[in-house]
Structure 1
Amino acid sequence: MGIEAVAVNEPRSDRPRPDADLRTTPALIVAAIRDAGTQFADLLRLARIEVRGNLRAVATLAVLFGGALLLVLVSLVLLLIALRDAIAVLTGSDILAGAIVALPFLSATAILLRLGFRRMGLRSVGA
């Protein structure tokens, strides 16, 4: 059971040396280009799969939010119709009830129109 002495700077025979590759420089360049092309093709394939999955997710979200927005708009229209009918029952006039329900929307439109004209600098139109 003796201890073997190995010099620190002496190369070991069980490890391959970096300069032991017998391929020429052009062969190594061709192999590197081939490997880079393979890696790039794999990257494009992975990107296509990822983008396809992301597009499906975005399309699903757009459909869901679009459906929710449509339902909210329909419910608001139905609420306004019900409000007009309730006011018509109280006042006895459909025309007056429609004017009362439309008045807040008309005033908001007028205010936004005036603010828009001020912002654009068309004072002669909005004044």
Structure 2
Amino acid sequence: MSIEAAAVNEPAVDRQQPDGDPRSTPALIAAAVREASAQFADLLRLARIEVRGNLRAVATLAALFGGALLLVLVSLVLLLIALRDAIAALIGSDALAGVIVALPFLVATAILMWAGFRRMSIRSVRT
């Protein structure tokens, strides 16, 4: 059998498709684009679900810390009222007891205001 006869007996192979895939290049590109868009849609859906979960967790955490902060502030106010009443019972004057309890806060406020004014002072630059 000659080489020419062997070539005639082989099935015809499409020379444009080296892997023998019957689909054309545009069909493969269209399928790839469809698959990529489906993958991207799935990715966005999963990201949305994850972000919602994270937002819920952050909101819950903020609510818990906010509640704890509120309770601490209420406790501090009640403690200061009790301290003022205790000092008033010792010295016999409600007004003086109020000043004594408020004095550390007034001093801290004055120090912070002084530091803030000092930092914010505008120095004129001569040109």
Is the TM-score greater than 0.5? yes
Q: Give 2:37's aligned residue.
A: 37
Equivalent residue of 1:87, what SS?
helix
- Distance across 2 between alignment mates of 1:45 and 1:89: 66
Q: Report the CA distance between 1:20 and its aligned residue.
A: 2.2
Q: Give 1:11's aligned residue.
A: none
- Distance across 1 between alignment mates of 2:20 and 2:112: 80
Which amino acid in the other structure matches residue 47 of structure 1? Answer: A
| TM-score, reference length from structure 1 | 0.81
Count how many residue pairs are aligned between Structure 1 and Structure 2: 106
| TM-score, reference length from structure 2 | 0.81
Q: Report the CA distance between 1:122 and its aligned residue.
A: 5.3
Aligned Cα RMSD in Å?
1.3
- Distance across 2 between alignment mates of 1:54 and 1:79: 37
Q: Give 2:14's aligned residue.
A: none
**Residues 48-59 of structure 1 mapped to structure 2, 5 A cutoff:** 48-59=48-59
Q: Report the CA distance between 1:73 and its aligned residue.
A: 0.2
Q: Give 1:87's aligned residue.
A: 87
- Distance across 2 between alignment mates of 1:121 and 1:108: 20
Which amino acid in the other structure matches residue 23 of structure 1? Answer: R
Structure 2: runs of 5+ lacking an equivalent: 1-17
- Distance across 1 between alignment mates of 2:39 and 2:122: 60
- Distance across 1 between alignment mates of 2:43 and 2:84: 61
Q: Give 2:23's aligned residue.
A: 23
Q: Structure 1 stretches (4+) deviating beyond 3 angstroms? A: none
Q: Which has the larger radius of gyration?
A: 2
Q: Give 2:5's aligned residue.
A: none
Q: Give 2:47's aligned residue.
A: 47
**Residues 1-127 of structure 1 mapped to structure 2, 5 A cutoff:** 19-121=19-121
1:13-45 alpha-carbon deviations (Å, 9 max, x no partner)? xxxxx7121211100100000000100110011
